[in-house]
């Protein structure tokens, strides 16, 4: 057996998710049955100080040889780095990712990819011109659970999928939890439910209704939406979206609806015990897949088969013969947070000289950003010009 390919990471920013991701990188890949890829962290940078970056590296138990930088500019100049993970707020993704790409570094950039589609387009063009790998860090798409569900749908076993309902809502007292400056609600940081949480509801609609169609036949959905703002900052706190995925050659002949929901004041899981039901329902003519939340880190799903003798048009007088179990339950444990699967994907793409991942293509990141742009346009949600601009460099 050949030795694993080692990926040397640089971490840009030292906040909450940077810690979680980096700790996942440090987990032995064999615990998730991975033997072809290994990860190491060779550097981290904090925009506030090198001391903060040093403490971050220690807290995450990174190798003692890892370099600690007090600026992102110093990080991107480090010749030992294979790829940079950008973990700043949404507002900063465009500027920070452009900095990395222009310094010749491949990038895994946190979601939401950028503030708008125009920025995403520029990053994709820059990566293509430089022949550099670039991916939006939609980690959930790389879970074995997500892959299994997509495979099940493409096999046709669920029949024609007509509707997907996906919700990621938090149920917080917004004022006391986030105030006005926290990145969740701060418009200067492109905060709000849509870009932060709604993107996962959209992810479930897209990965089941868009990514399951052969690539040449994928068509962007039409978008209808409603959004309410959090008065103190103008960021959105309640956003509901209905997507209609057109059908045609290479795809099922009927349009399918994706309903993507997000709300900061009411919760998907109201009692924290799943009593309210699944976060995601994928409804096909032969059955339904129900995925328990949270939508960003699901560990459990079930397939409910529409059996002969039960329900709908297949109902028979006196009940019919049933074939197989009516409900199949799947439990998918995660040996860590689960961010390592997207990191493994980056490693394989770098090893194979790819500039994008089939699991999260540039085109799909762009279509999702365009979808969120439409939702914002339909409801008058605009962020400050300095974070909507495609100008580079801009000091934020
Ligand atoms: N995939 C997932 O599950 C999750 C993804 N996220 C995404 O990750 C990104 C960061 O979120 P999170 O880690 O929670 O945020 P934090 O606020 O915890 O960290 C953000 C970091 O970005 C850096 N930064 C640079 N400029 C600014 C600025 N003006 N204001 C605030 N921070 C700044 C800081 O690091 P430094 O001082 O070191 O430069 C800061 O610690 C967001 O895009 C978010 O959507 C968040 C949570 C979960
Ligand atoms: O990406 C995310 O997933 C988990 C949430 O807690 C977080 O706010 C969000 O940014």
C-beta of 110 in contact with ligand 2 (< 6 A): no
Q: In 3-state terms, what secondary structure has residue 255?
A: coil
- Inform me whether the pLDDT recorded for 70 exceeds 60: yes
Is a pLDDT exceeding 80 seen at residue 153? yes
Range scoring the smallest mean pLDDT among 11-20, 100-109, 210-219: 210-219
Please name each of the domains of the chain with its CATH number: 5-140+339-387 (3.40.50.720), 144-331 (3.30.360.10)
Cβ of 196 closer than 6 Å to ligand 2, yes or no, is yes
Output the CA 176–ligand 1 centroid distance in Å: 20
Q: Kindly report the protein residue whose alpha carbon is nearest to atom 22 of ligand 1.
A: 88
Mean pLDDT in residue range 218-228: 97
DSSP secondary structure letters along 193-228? HIIIIIHHHHHHHHHHHTTTS-GGG--PPEEEEEEE
| pLDDT surpassing 60 at residue 310 | no
Question: What tens digit of pLDDT does each residue of 185-206 get?
Answer: 999 999 999 999 999 999 999 9
The pLDDT of residue 362 is above 80: yes
Mean pLDDT for the stretch of residues 11-29:
98
Q: Is residue 296 lining ligand 2, measured as CB closer than 6 Å?
A: yes
Q: Indicate whether 2 pLDDT > 90.
A: no
Signed CA dihedral, 39, 64, 81, 69: sign only: positive
- This prediction has a pTM of 0.96
Res. 314: pLDDT tops 50: no
Q: What is the CA(17)–ligand 1 centre distance, in A?
A: 7
- Mean per-residue pLDDT of the chain: 95
The predicted pLDDT at position 317 comes to 45
Crossing angle for the helix pair 340-351 and 16-25, to the nearest 10 degrees: 60
> Rounded to an integer, what distance in angstroms lies between the CA atom of residue 49 and that of residue 53?
7
Report d(CA 369, CA 276) in Å as an integer: 30
With a cut of 90, say whether residue 107 has pLDDT above it: yes
Lowest-confidence region among 14-28, 241-255, 301-315: 301-315
């Amino acid at each position: 057996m050949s030795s694993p390919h080692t990926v040397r990471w640089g971490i840009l920013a030292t906040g909450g998710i940077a810690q979680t991701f980096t700790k996942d990188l440090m987990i032995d890949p064999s615990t998730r049955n991975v033997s072809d890829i290994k990860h190491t962290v060779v550097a981290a940078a904090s925009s506030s100080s090198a001391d903060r970056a040093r403490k971050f590296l220690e807290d995450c138990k990174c190798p003692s040889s890892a370099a600690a930088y007090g600026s992102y500019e110093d990080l991107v100049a480090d010749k030992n780095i294979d790829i940079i993970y950008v973990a700043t707020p949404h507002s900063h993704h465009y500027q920070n990712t452009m900095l990395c790409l222009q310094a010749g570094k491949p990038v895994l950039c946190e979601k939401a990819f950028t503030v708008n589609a125009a920025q995403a387009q520029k990053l994709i063009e820059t990566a293509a011109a430089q022949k550099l790998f670039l991916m939006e860090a939609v980690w959930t798409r790389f879970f074995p659970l997500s892959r299994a569900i997509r495979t099940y749908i493409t096999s046709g076993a669920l029949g024609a999928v007509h509707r997907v309902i996906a919700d990621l809502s938090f149920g917080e007292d917004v004022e006391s939890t986030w105030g006005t400056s926290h990145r969740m609600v701060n418009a200067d940081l492109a905060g709000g439910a849509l870009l932060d949480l709604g993107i996962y509801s959209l992810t479930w609609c897209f990965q089941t209704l868009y990514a399951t169609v052969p690539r040449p036949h994928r068509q962007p959905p039409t978008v209808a939406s409603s959004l309410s703002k959090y008065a103190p900052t103008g960021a959105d706190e309640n956003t509901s979206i209905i997507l209609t995925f057109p059908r045609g050659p290479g795809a099922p002949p009927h349009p399918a609806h994706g309903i993507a929901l997000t709300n900061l004041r009411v919760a998907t899981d109201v009692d924290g015990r799943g009593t309210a039901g699944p976060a995601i329902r994928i409804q096909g003519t032969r059955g339904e897949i129900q995925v328990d939340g949270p939508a960003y880190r699901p560990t459990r799903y079930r397939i409910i088969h529409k059996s002969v003798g039960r329900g709908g048009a297949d109902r028979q007088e006196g009940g019919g013969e049933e074939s197989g179990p009516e409900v199949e339950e799947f439990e998918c444990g995660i040996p860590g947070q689960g961010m390592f699967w997207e990191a493994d994907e980056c490693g394989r793409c770098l090893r194979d000289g790819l500039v994008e991942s089939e699991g999260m293509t540039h085109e799909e990141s762009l279509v999702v950003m365009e979808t969120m742009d439409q939702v914002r346009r339909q409801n008058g949600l605009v962020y400050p010009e300095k974070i909507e601009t495609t100008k580079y460099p801009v000091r934020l």
